[in-house]
Amino acid sequence: MNAVEIEEAITALADQPYDAAEFPFAFLLAFGNKDTTIKRLRAGSSNKSDLGGVLQANNIHIKTCAEGQANATLAALRDSPATARAKAKFILATDGTEFQAEDLTSGEAIICAYADFPNHFGFFLPLAGITTVRAIRESAFDIRATSRLNRLYVELLKDNPDWGTAARRHDMNQFMARLIFCFFAEDTGIFSGDATFTRTIDTMSARDSSNTHEVIGALFHAMNTRPEDRTAEGIPRWADPFPYVNGELFSGTTEAPRFSKIARSYLLTIGGLDWTQVNPDIFGSMIQAVADEDERGALGMHYTSVPNILKVLNPLFLDDLRAALEEARDNGRKLLNLRNRMARIRVFDPACGSGNFLVIAYKELRAIEAQINARRGEADRRSEITLTNFRGIELKDFPATIARLALIIAEYQCDVLHRGQREATRDFLPLDSKNWITCGNALRLDWLSICPPTGTGVKLRGDDLFSTPLDQAEVDFENEGGETYICGNPPYLGSKWQSLEQKGDLKNIFDGRCKNWKSLDYVAGWFMKAADFGSHTPAAAAFVSTNSICQGQQVPILWPTIFGTGHHILFAHTSFKWANLASHNAGVTVVIVGITSGPSPIRSLFLLSDDGETIRRETANINAYLVAAPNVEVQGKSRPMSGQAVMQFGNHPYYGAPLIFSVEEGRRIVAGFPQAADFIRPLYGSQEFINAAPRACLWIADENAEAAAAIPPIAERLKATAASRRAAIRDKAAQKLAETPYRFRDQTTAEGHVLVVPRVSSENRPFLPIGLLNAAAIIQDQAFALYDAPLWNMALIASRLHLVWIATVCGKLETRYRYSNTLGWNTFPVPPLTEKQKSDLVACAVSILLAREAHFPATIADLYDPETMPDNLRAAHDRNDETLERIYIGRRFRNDTERLEKLFEMYTKMTSKKVGDARA
């Protein structure tokens, strides 16, 4: 169960009549325990309670009690020896009126009315195993509110299908945003004491809900009408206490959808929540799920945590402002200059979602400004930082609407925090009517018109007029001498997952500027647009991105193009795993890259140390691989550049899954038809090689096709292969291969021996897996093969030097090594080798093989486990490295940094010489 489902379940539980006997079980059920677990607890077999309650080991001790006994019961639970013995994390006591609980690990306690306990569900989330993401526990309110709003949204659309159509979706979204604003306003004092939004709806609308929409409509109408115009507009007297809000939020239609009885009661419940607790950055990111079928249930999928947002914003500009604040000390003049500078900083998020980057940036700037004002003795001064300087583009209407609202709420909260409730309320209404969040396709819109450069009057112009309502972003606003910072977390989509439209977006940006742009990730578009923006006006940009744009094939496509615009990498954060609110937190490994065309003599590279700490390193340059080294982009080559043997891609089955089977299956076939033995060979991909567990495959030469097909179990598999190839109707290559179902697409084998290199393998091993197999072995496409290659090639691949190269210039699968013949092997710089050097290396390779042999039948995975790697094997690798590195520089390298430096240097020399040759 995810957090939303749990919230729904315990809300339902609290709504039911209290049943003392059932409560503990219902409670545990709501937190996602399986029926069988509950059954066992009921039966008593797993119930460890010594007080007649319910005690689930390692989790919680619950006891219901007589009226008024909750406090005493909680004390008894705390003192119970069974609680300690079963290592309970929580204790809980309730009499159906009062509810008490304690987190025994932290000592945190809850005492509340029984009906209110769902408000504290975040407290108990560890019961459901949701502990890793702190933000969830700390934003229990946001989850509750989101989940309720979602139910209201769905209910309203059910009764008002026309509001769900494309034409009215915006009205619907704006309606929801207005509701949220009103809930927030009535709880935080933005509305005066008489303007109680929820209670007014409750009392003025009929219980049968028939006129709810009219009451809400009247309230919205009032909020869109100046006090002096209200009589003329016929605003009812009971709507009069509500202030004029405007701010575009209430302009346009004030019509409301019709409410069913259920929808009305949802509305009143949501209004009853304590909206002072809303956290705009978290709420905003979660609420996207409210209006999006795809994201519903996968709540918070694109949630960017505050620490991650700060990883972008701090090095981009906040650190610099804080340093300036530090430097200004109490110097009034300097403080004033800094405040003036900050008032003209623009933050632009061209993939803003519901605006959490903008909200955090705004809050941080306000915090710095508050310090300036405090030092200048102007603590309650009105802020110079205007919301119009926080701009965004968002594709979807609902998040775009919410982003504006989130900023408005953030502004109010900052005013309360830094200037006090009274000042905040006095200056808040009416809202500014300008729209500074544009709904549209960021890759098609002209960023210069959304953030016009200083001194010029660029008008908004969308490249695609149909997806860009022209009136949306007409904020004429020039920012003389101001700084612009672009930031965000745009969507990532690998080249073959993109829709035609998305491909078109990239074509629009990259076509004619670089070749092979079709292989770029969708996120590359944002970097390129940011670079183009920065070429027109001073700016710096930093995005969270999938790490693949800084790896392998994308590097030589994207980065020379970006560097060509005069940009460089200002700071970067190397790969770290993405974390979101989903309970199993799979997904993606990301980097953060900041670029600018301005001066930046010192550049910051952030890395995660082994114990998870972020380390900052200052360097003169950061290259496209996010390495502190000169710019190099390694271009794949189809032939080795330095005299290595040819490395081939393994044999691709190409829809030939039926050609592959287990070794046991192979034995069964041979047992029935001994003549089949001639056509069955051991098969090795990555896994099979690393774990010394080959599979079997059919391996049939053209001239044996008929003989093989005469064997029934083989014939069956050939038929299946032909069928699966024919089924790939759009793949021409597959259609052709259907005519030769007895063979893999490729059919290459060795004469004597073959060297195998897995395509993907764990990054935890100290050396790359490489091995020697006899000629019978078939290498499948999951591994590379060097057929009959001299063993000194193996010495190269087994070296630390080669691992460093592969780890840097090849792609990765998340952080796994992904070997590539074109990118990594063919480009690997090797000095010319003498026969003596070759035979020395062969000896090294042989001694590695012999060292492994001594541990037979240990697999590569066993032998190269960093914890348990045998000493003799380590020694053999050490000799290999010693021998090879002496060939390179006449001594051992000091460390991997030096190894990489040398390899990059050799590569640069190697490739620039090629260019020279071409000219000559």
Partner DNA sequence: CATCCGACAATTT
Partner DNA sequence: AAATTGTCGGATG
How near is the Cβ of 762 to DNA at its closest, in Å? Answer: 4
For position 308 contacting DNA by CB under 7 A, the verdict is: no
Residue choice 258, 375, 816, 838 for contact with DNA (CB under 7 A): 816
Q: Which is nearer to DNA, 757 or 903 (CB)?
A: 757
Beta strands in 358-517 (DSSP E): 390-394, 437-439, 484-488
Report H helices in 547-597. Answer: 555-563
Residue choice 8, 483, 505, 781 for contact with DNA (CB under 7 A): 781
Bin 508: left if φ > 0, else alpha if -120 < ψ < 50, else beta: alpha
Tokens of 524: 């590359």
760-761/695-698 β-pairing: unpaired
Tell me what percent of the chain is helix, strand and coil, each rounded to the nearest 5: 50, 15, 35
Q: Which stretch binds DNA (CB under 7 A): 148-156, 322-330, 459-467, 757-765?
A: 757-765
237 touches 136 (CB < 8 A): no
Within 321-380, which residues bind DNA (CB under 7 A)?
none
How near is the Cβ of 240 to DNA at its closest, in Å? Answer: 46
Q: Which is nearer to DNA, 319 or 862 (CB)?
A: 862
485 touches 461 (CB < 8 A): no
Q: Which stretch binds DNA (CB under 7 A): 57-65, 102-110, 514-522, 674-682?
A: 514-522
Beta strands in 730-777 (DSSP E): 753-758, 760-761, 771-774
For position 868 contacting DNA by CB under 7 A, the verdict is: no
Q: What per-residue string of b and e applies to 362-375 under the rule 16 or more CB within 10 Å gives b? A: bbbbbebbbbbbeb
Residue choice 561, 822, 827, 911 for contact with DNA (CB under 7 A): 822
90-94/98-103 β-pairing: antiparallel
For position 302 contacting DNA by CB under 7 A, the verdict is: yes
Q: Which is nearer to DNA, 69 or 589 (CB)?
A: 589
Residue choice 516, 614, 774, 912 for contact with DNA (CB under 7 A): 516
For 126, other C-beta atoms within 10 Å of its C-beta total 19
Q: Which is nearer to DNA, 104 or 544 (CB)?
A: 544
For position 491 contacting DNA by CB under 7 A, the verdict is: yes
Residue choice 494, 538, 640, 870 for contact with DNA (CB under 7 A): 494
Q: Which x/- pattern over 601-640 shows residues binding DNA (rule: CB under 7 A)?
A: -----------------------------------x-x--
Within 11-40, which residues bind DNA (CB under 7 A)?
32
Residue choice 605, 811, 851, 885 for contact with DNA (CB under 7 A): 811
How far apart, in whole angstroms, are the C-alpha atoms of residue 152 and residue 510?
43
For position 503 contacting DNA by CB under 7 A, the verdict is: yes
Residue choice 196, 498, 631, 735 for contact with DNA (CB under 7 A): 498
Within 827-856, which residues bind DNA (CB under 7 A)?
none
Q: Which is nearer to DNA, 99 or 123 (CB)?
A: 123
Residue choice 319, 746, 896, 898 for contact with DNA (CB under 7 A): 746
Residue choice 90, 220, 526, 578 for contact with DNA (CB under 7 A): 578
Residue choice 453, 653, 741, 829 for contact with DNA (CB under 7 A): 653
Within 471-490, which residues bind DNA (CB under 7 A)?
489-490
How near is the Cβ of 32 to DNA at its closest, in Å? Answer: 7
The size of the interface with DNA (CB under 7 A), counted in residues, is: 77
CA neighbor of 255 nearest in space, from 228, 220, 305:
220
For position 648 contacting DNA by CB under 7 A, the verdict is: yes
Residue choice 91, 445, 590, 798 for contact with DNA (CB under 7 A): 590
CA neighbor of 527 nearest in space, from 468, 634, 443, 635:
443
Q: Which is nearer to DNA, 182 or 760 (CB)?
A: 760
Q: Which is nearer to DNA, 240 or 746 (CB)?
A: 746
Q: Which is nearer to DNA, 310 or 336 (CB)?
A: 310
How near is the Cβ of 489 to DNA at its closest, in Å? Answer: 5
CA neighbor of 332 nearest in space, from 381, 378, 368:
378
CA dihedral 718, 719, 725, 727 (to 10 degrees): -160
SS3 of 754, please?
A: strand
DSSP state of 116: G
Q: Which is nearer to DNA, 220 or 522 (CB)?
A: 522
How far apart, in whole angstroms, are the C-alpha atoms of residue 533 and residue 488?
15
Residue choice 194, 427, 731, 878 for contact with DNA (CB under 7 A): 731
Residue choice 20, 733, 776, 850 for contact with DNA (CB under 7 A): 733
Q: Which is nearer to DNA, 205 or 859 (CB)?
A: 859
For position 760 contacting DNA by CB under 7 A, the verdict is: yes
Within 537-566, which residues bind DNA (CB under 7 A)?
544, 546, 548, 551-554
257 touches 231 (CB < 8 A): no
Q: Which x/- pattern over 117-156 shows residues binding DNA (rule: CB under 7 A)?
A: ------------x-xx------------------------
Q: If you compute the radius of gyration of the chain from its CA atoms, what whole number of angstroms results?
A: 33
CA neighbor of 820 nearest in space, from 622, 684, 635:
635
Within 657-696, which residues bind DNA (CB under 7 A)?
657, 685-687, 690-691
Q: Which is nearer to DNA, 684 or 888 (CB)?
A: 684
CA dihedral 868, 870, 875, 877 (to 10 degrees): -70
How near is the Cβ of 328 to DNA at its closest, in Å? Answer: 37
Q: Which stretch binds DNA (CB under 7 A): 447-455, 602-610, 728-736, 831-839?
A: 728-736
444 touches 396 (CB < 8 A): no
Tokens of 518: 């079709």
Tokens of 717: 């598999």
Residue choice 810, 844, 863, 876 for contact with DNA (CB under 7 A): 810
For position 583 contacting DNA by CB under 7 A, the verdict is: yes
For position 702 contacting DNA by CB under 7 A, the verdict is: no
Q: 882 vs 839, 869, 886, 890, 893, CA distance in Å?
A: 14, 19, 6, 9, 9
For position 808 contacting DNA by CB under 7 A, the verdict is: no
Residue choice 184, 362, 412, 492 for contact with DNA (CB under 7 A): 492
Q: Which is nearer to DNA, 356 or 820 (CB)?
A: 820
How near is the Cβ of 227 to DNA at its closest, in Å? Answer: 45
How near is the Cβ of 35 to DNA at its closest, in Å? Answer: 14
Q: Which is nearer to DNA, 260 or 589 (CB)?
A: 589
CA neighbor of 362 nearest in space, from 319, 412, 418, 411:
411
**Stretch (H or E) spanning 571:** strand 568-577
Q: Which is nearer to DNA, 315 or 824 (CB)?
A: 824
- Interacting residues of 20 by C-beta distance below 8 A, sequence separation 6+: 64, 65, 95, 96
Q: Is the peptide bond before 430 cis (omega within 30 degrees of 0)?
A: yes
CA neighbor of 757 nearest in space, from 799, 716, 721:
799
Q: Which is nearer to DNA, 583 or 619 (CB)?
A: 583
How far apart, in whole angstroms, are the C-alpha atoms of residue 543 and residue 527?
8
Tokens of 830: 């090797």
CA dihedral 400, 402, 405, 407 (to 10 degrees): -70
Q: Which stretch binds DNA (CB under 7 A): 164-172, 408-416, 651-659, 873-881?
A: 651-659
How far apart, in whole angstroms, are the C-alpha atoms of residue 633 and residue 623?
8
Q: First CA to last CA across the chain, in angstroms? A: 68
Q: Which x/- pattern over 393-412 shows residues binding DNA (rule: CB under 7 A)?
A: --------------------
How far apart, in whole angstroms, are the C-alpha atoms of residue 111 and residue 123?
12
Question: Strand pairing partners for 108?
Answer: none
Q: Is the peptide bond before 857 cis (omega within 30 degrees of 0)?
A: yes
